Structures are given as C-alpha cells and as structure tokens.
Amino acid sequence: MKGKNPVSIPKKYQEILFSIGTYAEKLGTKAWIVGGAVRDFYFGRDTLDIDLSFEGNVDPLAGFAVKRWGGSKHKFSQFSTFRVNLTTGLKLDMVRARRESYPRAGVLPEVTPSCIKDDLFRRDFTANSWALSIMPGSFGVSFDPFGAQKDIDAGIIRILHPKSFLDDPTRMCRAVRFAGRFGWKLAPKTEELLKEAVKQQYPLLLSRERLTREFLKINKEKEIKRILEMMRMYGMLQFVYPGLEWHDGLNRVKTVDERLGVMVCSLGKSGEEFLKSMRVKKELAQEILEAWKVSESCHAPLRALTPMQQAIIRAVHPGLKKYALEPCFLRGRDLKELGLAGRRISCALERCCRMQWDGKVSSREDALKIVQVCFGSPNCMGDVPSA
Ligand code: CTP
C-alpha cells in the first residue's frame, strides 16, 4: 500500500465511512472504497453513490450502517451484495471482495471470495480499479495496483485483461460512455480489442434487457453526442438498433425519456420496432408511441398531447407551427352538424389535422370554413384546392 494520499475522501462522508471501517476492523474485516467513487473523489467531484468492498462478511456491516444512520438495505443474493440507502442520502453498494470467472461469455460471473487486489482486477477499467482504505489505521490511504491514477491523469480507458470485453460485453458500452463523458481516449490495445469485439459481435451475447440498460445509461450522459459518435465510429450502434444515429433533436430536449422519444421518432417507420426492442416501462413506451404516431403522420393530434410528447415532436420537427400539436380544432360532431356523414367525416378530419399541422388553419373558425369550402358539395371528398 502506498503512503501518499492523492485522493481525499470528502469531509461530509468521513464520519460515516470511518465508523463503518472501524466496525469492520472490529470484525477482523478489511474495508475499502472502490470503483467510480474513488475516480470521482480524485476529480474533486461529488457522488452520492459509493461502492465499498470488504474482505469479509458484508451482512453485519450493512446491518450496522442501517441501524446507525437509518435507511434501508436490499440484498442481491447471487453476489452477497447489499444496496444500502441511508437517510443521509448516501447510497452504499457493499460487496464482499471477490474474484470472478465467467462460465460463458456475456452471462453473469461466478464469484469466489478473495482479497482487494483481486476485487480491483475483476473490474472494467483501470480508472475504476482504485481503492481507498476506510480502516481507522489507514483511513484514506490509496491502493492503486493497476495504475488508475496514471491512466486518469492521461485520460485513458484501459481494460485490465484481454478477455474483458468477451467476459462482459456491457463493458464495450461502458468504455465509450466513460471515454465520452470525460473526453478520454481508449488505450491502443483496448481500442483494438473493442474493434475485434464488434467484429465478433459480442454485444449479441447480451440479453436485450442488459443491452437496453447500458444504452439507457448512455442516454443519461451529458456528452451523449460524443458517445453516440464513438459508437457509430466503432460500429456499435447497429447492435442497439440498425440505422440509429445522432439526431440534432437530441440537443433540443432535456430529459432522458424525451431523448429516447427523439431517437424513436428520428428512425421514421422503424421507430416503433426500435421502441419495442427497448425494455422500458409500459407507460413510458405508450407515451412515446403516441408521440411517434403523430410525428410519423405529420397531422395535428386528435387528442391533447402531454408536455413530453410535445417536446419530442417539436425536437424532431423544428419550426413546427404554433397550433400543430393542439388537438384538432374540429371533432366528428362538428362535421356531422355540417351535414357530413360516413367516410367524408374521416376525410374532412384528416384534411383538417393535416392543415393544422402545416399551419394553414389557426382557429376553429378557419377549420370550419375550409371544411365548408372543400366538403360543401354532397359527394366531394375534399380534393378541392387548399386554403
Ligand atoms: N463494474 C465493472 N464492470 C461492469 C460494471 C461495473 O467492473 N460491467 C465495476 C466498476 O469498477 C465500477 C463499479 O463496478 O466503477 C460500479 O459500477 P457503476 O456504478 O456502474 O460504475 P461507476 O463507475 O460508479 O459509474 P457512474 O459514474 O456512471 O455511476
């Protein structure tokens, strides 16, 4: 263990982490902060998500934290991992330090309890393979056996061993996500192995659920343009969906859900299929699907759109007229009152929605006038010059 402390643990977390480390030591268990939190602390960035790794049983430590600061704990049984949400707002992922082996590519690993060094080596990139002690005698002391600090300083994403992408193809997405987020580059060997992984189609080894989860994490990133561009360059986007690419509309929306909606609409006819392939909540999928239908039809909607649907459609169709996304000015009832019946009603409605989208009618009165002009004579289906 090195004596220097290049990273400091933010003051506000010190008391909690020191207490956990002290309790761990009482149990004869070594305790560390690991993963992205160390990287973020090194940058001086705050994070509410801290991964802790213990060379011993995690159960009593998770219990200790919840008892002491209040909150909840949830056990992920297959790996003896605890997600602890403290009432202080801090989220702790507490794991038993372990070694991992992958029975088959792309499936979850088999794990064996082990030491901190193995626990760092099983991770995705050197930048995330850095530990800080939380034990009382060495609190805050750095353990960096794989050159995390050096790679972070140089802005490099580097996998720890050549089988990394095969073991866990989600790391292909993670590599471009972190590189894009921080403006880093892939180490030459890592880049070569990523290209090989694309050639060998490793992402197809993942379930659609896992791939969706990784892609939605990318969707949350501020630097999404840079990340999608890298994915395009490496030929990775085709695994998410063929034809998917950066769309300027993504710059015009604010939320992650809206971004997904923009992607769906930007794919045109294939949007619905792409949306179905993304394993998102039913209600969200439905809301986006309705926006996609309007976007595809280029007609004002018959029913009111939600603010999210409007944001998505406006992002994909910039310059859309003021009333384009208002519910159609006329209802079937209005048209019946004008004496229309049967298919002439749907033709007139369709005509109205289209003209409203195009900005050619901007009030109910306008719309009524146009219907009277276009559909006034008994058998006319509306093929009269538009207003
Ligand atoms: N990890 C890994 N391989 C994965 C996923 C995670 O090795 N496929 C490890 C990394 O060490 C990572 C840690 O588990 O740092 C925690 O995972 P996650 O929370 O996804 O990573 P963060 O680095 O914290 O990412 P973010 O900054 O986006 O929260």
Are both 170 and 140 inside the same structural domain? no
Same domain for 371 and 313: no
Residue 2 lies in a domain: yes
Q: Which atom of ligand 1 is nearest to the CA of 51?
A: 16
Q: For residue 127, what are its two tokens?
A: 């930048």
Q: Are residues 4 and 76 in the same domain?
A: yes
Reported pTM: 0.90
With the most atoms of ligand 1 within 8 angstroms of its CB, the residue from 43, 48, 123, 184 to mutate is 123
Give the whole-angstrom CA distance, residue 214 versus residue 322.
37
For ligand 1, atom 23, name the residue with the nearest CA.
36
Whether 344 is covered by a domain: the verdict is yes
Ligand 1 first shell, C-beta below 6 A: 35-36, 49, 51, 123-124, 128, 168, 170-171, 174
Residue 200 is assigned to a structural domain of this protein: yes
Domain count, the chain: 4
Residue 66 domain flag: yes
| HSE-CB for 21 with a 13 A CA cutoff | 20
Strand ranges for the chain from DSSP E = 30-34, 49-55, 71-76, 81-86, 91-96, 98-101, 110-113, 131-133, 142-143, 156-157, 185-186
Indicate the residue among 132, 153, 174 that finishes a domain. 153
Structure tokens given for 274: 């792409």
Domain assignment present for 130: yes
- Tokens linked to 124: 């995705």
Identify whether residues 225 and 251 lie together within a single domain. no
Does 387 map to a domain? Answer: no
Q: How far, in Å, are 38, 151, 203, 241 from residue 120 at the CA level?
A: 12, 15, 24, 33
Sort 351 into a burial class: Cβ within 10 Å, 0-12 / 13-18 / 19+.
buried
Domain harbouring 127, CATH code? 3.30.460.10
**Partners of 214 in the beta sheet?**
none
Residues 284 and 340 in one domain: no
pLDDT tens across the length of the chain (387 residues): 444 678 999 999 999 999 999 999 999 999 999 999 999 999 988 888 999 999 999 999 999 999 999 999 999 876 679 999 999 999 999 999 999 988 888 788 888 999 999 999 999 999 999 999 999 999 999 999 999 999 999 999 999 999 999 999 999 999 999 999 999 999 999 999 999 999 999 999 999 999 999 999 999 999 999 999 999 999 999 999 999 999 999 999 999 999 999 999 999 999 999 999 998 999 999 999 999 999 999 999 999 999 999 999 999 999 999 999 999 998 888 888 888 888 888 888 898 899 999 999 989 998 888 888 877 655 555 554 443
112 DSSP β-pair partners: 99
Q: Looking at the structure, do residues 42 and 182 belong to the same domain, yes or no? A: no
Residues 6+ apart with CB under 8 A from 30: 24, 54, 55, 56, 97, 116, 133, 135
Task: Give residue 367's domain range.
Answer: 328-375
